[in-house]
Amino acid sequence: MSTSLFDLSGKTAVVIGGTGELCGAISEGFAAAGAHVVLVGRDAAKAEKRLAAITEAGGKGSFIAADASKRAELEALLAQVVAEQGKVDILVNGAGVNSPTPFLDIPEEEYDRIMNINTKAVVIACQVFGRYFVDNKVEASIINLGSMSGLLPLSRVFTYSMSKAAVHNLSKNLAREWAPLGIRVNTLVPGFFPAEQNKKVLVPERIAKIMAHTPAARFGEARELVGAALLLASNAAGSFITGHEMVVDGGYSSMTI
């Protein structure tokens, strides 16, 4: 029973950002649970490495290159996945970028880039795949990657924080809208996990402050997001969970003084 609750056999999971560190680990977890995982990104070399890990562990996966901020590419992606796998059951929106630029110095180009990838891409994916789920009466799970900065104001990441706050709000709105249709929408909220998008922000002084505010006194490891993601993805384990912000942060959000 403990494993069957999280069984994803026969499911197809599309993981946008699956070539990255955090969503890559989630992809491997989904594949280990029996899903066919479609990695979506723009780095074929990273995808090949992640797919090798999936297949070596006995899982199934594929890669489709796409720019998640472009509707036409996501529509083509959906059509290809349905043609090849027959359906889609799970969508993970995990592509993201960050920048430590001080607020008064943020150029418009940087703002647009972050908002396009972190927010616009999530909106478009939820529209494209949401339409498919609604029209085909799929009891689906959508997992949007949020951030502690979407819940709490964090210094030095102004545009990133705005983009993630929007994702948190969108997820709750969609959860309310689609719950009667059996479509669940949740936000997976990592605490501090070193990854490509935040390496410029994690300078020694900031790391010290993070550790002082984290009861676990360490960074998270990508594998530690897998259990939470499986819970949110599984119809057996998470069938009554929607509109939830699943925080995995080593106690960061519980720390006050």
Amino acid type, 253: S
Look at phi and psi of residue 194 and say left if phi exceeds 0, alpha if psi is from -120 to 50, else beta: beta
Tell me the C-alpha distance between 241 and 229, whole Å.
12
DSSP 92: E
DSSP symbol at 210? H
What single-letter amino acid sits at 196? E
Please tell me the distance from the alpha carbon of residue 163 to that of residue 150, in angstroms, as a whole number.
8
pTM, two decimal places: 0.95
Q: pLDDT digit of tens for each residue in the chain (257 aa)?
A: 567 899 999 999 999 999 999 999 999 999 999 999 999 999 999 999 999 999 999 999 999 999 999 999 999 999 999 999 999 999 999 999 999 899 999 999 999 999 999 999 999 999 999 999 999 999 999 999 999 999 998 888 999 999 999 999 999 999 999 999 999 999 999 999 987 767 677 888 889 999 999 999 999 999 999 999 999 999 999 999 999 999 999 999 999 87
CA 253 to chain centre: 19
* Region of residue 106 (left: phi > 0; alpha: psi -120 to 50; beta: else): beta
In angstroms, the Cα distances linking 145 to 25, 33, 210 are: 13, 20, 20
Q: Determine the 3-state secondary structure of 199 from DSSP.
A: coil
Q: Which residues are catalytic, by number?
A: 160
**CATH label, 4-247, candidates 3.30.70.330, 3.40.50.1110, 3.40.50.720, 3.20.20.10:** 3.40.50.720
Q: Are strands 36-41 and 60-65 parallel, antiparallel or unpaired?
A: parallel
